[in-house]
Amino acid sequence: MSELDQLPDRDTEETAEWQASLDAVVRNAGPERAVYLLRRVHEFAARSGVSLPGS
């Protein structure tokens, strides 16, 4: 069970869309591309003032 399972998901449809998009990237472009995109999103979030746990 993930730590995130303890938090309410206020928009399960949006969460499912993000997960489906990431799954499509992994299937079509490989896990390396998925890692790159996640790192870019993480970097953008930090610049936008969004702090993530463990950052």
* Radius of gyration of the chain measured on its C-alpha atoms: 13
- Contacting residues for 22 by C-beta, under 8 A, at least 6 apart: 34, 37, 38
Nearest Cα to 38, choosing from 49, 27, 26? 26
**What is the torsional sign of CA 53, 3, 16, 14?**
negative
CA 14 to chain centre: 11
pLDDT-derived band at 55, boundaries 50, 70, 90: low
What pTM was computed for the model?
0.80
pLDDT in tens, 2-34: 888 888 999 999 999 999 999 999 999 999 999
Check pLDDT > 80 for residue 1.
no
More confident residue, 6 or 50: 50
